[in-house]
Structure 1
């Protein structure tokens, strides 16, 4: 069976916490193939102090950071699609975004697709939009495969996963954040992290290898370091955060009480 992994994201750096660990884990498997789509260049993002990017050139700057991050990780996407939509404006693209993601999935037929769920992890409208578009595109292409007499098991699109933060982990991080004087997250506010019920988490991957590379890849996104890293956090703390990867299984439907998977590809052979 194949091992094609697709990440479909809104902005450069969205994939950092979500999928770097799984990429490292499978990078030496000769069957493994990585494809990535970004809907925007992140051109409306903030610019961290000391980074010589300009407002006009931020999109190109962040693209370059993303390429450098994959190189630092040691595995670059075989295909990397940039749709070039306006940062913060994905909702305006409407049904066209579903069409574009469907074109990508139709061409690549990834076995596992990673994206955002309805909460967008941070509530960012772009995160929510790309997640919804990907879910719709995934089901559209699966339907096409079935109508053509193919089987998803042979033609990819076996699993759709939404990145998430388990509620228990969110509460622990919230306590540490308050104790550090950083202020509490408010899940009703955009850009504040959200947690999902622990019982909704269907994949929990624990990483022990490649954490240094994962951290180095994160640091390539220097223009966003002020939003990616809390002030005063040590490298050891951030590598500990990177060692855990969690997902909601959006497809196939997960039975209540089903065992939690320990790898994004588990059970697909």
Structure 2
């Protein structure tokens, strides 16, 4: 297939909901721009996720083990809200399973579980096949820009780390401009300081939520105009995201119920060092 859009953005995410939490505004912004294509690659169905609504709790892996199938519908709803029409499951639906995570003993940090499912995404022996599957998508789409997580996966989740590793390897074979998701420390601190006192979640301890020094940020995308689309996408992921809204005030939390602010900027770090600060992922990109 020959790509038709002049600008092509591809995102690699580990589980349904990750696309909305870290890049939802970016996806919505570029999906709405002319002659721009957005492709989302999701690596697992998120089968091991913890379920927030009590009425859906029995979907989880320890009971009916139907959460992955349910989250396909949630992801479809989020993509619709964000205006994204090109979504791929890496290797096909259900090829690799959510690895789950263990708590790392500090804040929201995660680690690899001692025992992995035979189809777990983080298994060492699956790496080459995963890279090949992603290369196949890259060769078809030919994106100029690729987004995924940094080397630590943002907070240590083994599937986020693996998504980073296979994306770096795949981009070496099919070159593109590569960026990693991040949150600048000052922006996160300002957002947390501005949380409405009425929001119901636990305010995080200092440095509990992951962030990076401000001077590491390479691209800052203004996503204020995509706010309502992002909120709608969060609501679509009801098993994973608890959302509180009162007028213009918004806070959200995962199953740990730690409060996070909805920031109007999404930020990225370039894989290539010494990249100048920009407000557009496609700055300097030619078709």
TM-score (norm 1): 0.79
Structure 1 residue 54 and structure 2 residue 59: aligned? Answer: yes
Which residue of 73, 77, 82 maps to 1:64?
A: 73
2:186 is matched with 168
Cα offset, 1:234, TM superposition: 4.3
C-alpha contact 2:224 2:265 (8 A) present in aligned 1 = no
Q: 1:125-183: CA deviations, max 9, x gaps?
A: 110110111011101223xxxxxxxxxxxxxx2x1110011122344456678x97534
C-alpha contact 1:123 1:194 (8 A) present in aligned 2 = no
Q: Which has the higher helix share?
A: 1
CA distance in 2, matches of 1:60, 1:235: 33
Cα offset, 1:3, TM superposition: 1.1
Against the structure 1 CA distance between its residues 51 and 115, is the aligned structure 2 distance closer, same or farther, given a 3 Å change threshold? farther
1:67-216 to 2 correspondences below 5 Å: 67-73=76-82, 75-83=83-91, 84=94, 85-88=96-99, 89-92=120-123, 93-142=126-175, 157=176, 159-172=177-190, 181-184=202-205, 193-216=209-232
- State which drifts further: 52-61 or 132-141: 52-61
2:233 is matched with 217
CA distance in 2, matches of 1:96, 1:235: 47
CA distance in 1, matches of 2:80, 2:185: 33
Against the structure 1 CA distance between its residues 182 and 242, is the aligned structure 2 distance closer, same or farther, given a 3 Å change threshold? closer
CA distance in 2, matches of 1:208, 1:175: 19
C-alpha contact 2:219 2:278 (8 A) present in aligned 1 = yes
Query: Aligned residue pairs: how many?
Result: 239
Structure 1 residue 236 and structure 2 residue 248: aligned? Answer: yes
Say what the alpha-carbon RMSD is for the aligned residues: 2.5
Cα offset, 1:218, TM superposition: 1.1
Structure 1 residue 263 and structure 2 residue 280: aligned? Answer: yes
CA distance in 2, matches of 1:183, 1:196: 16
Against the structure 1 CA distance between its residues 225 and 22, is the aligned structure 2 distance closer, same or farther, given a 3 Å change threshold? closer
- State which drifts further: 10-19 or 192-201: 192-201
> Which structure 2 segments of 5+ residues have no match?
100-119, 252-260
CA distance in 2, matches of 1:104, 1:27: 18
Name the SS of the counterpart of 1:90 in structure 2: coil
CA distance in 1, matches of 2:133, 2:247: 38
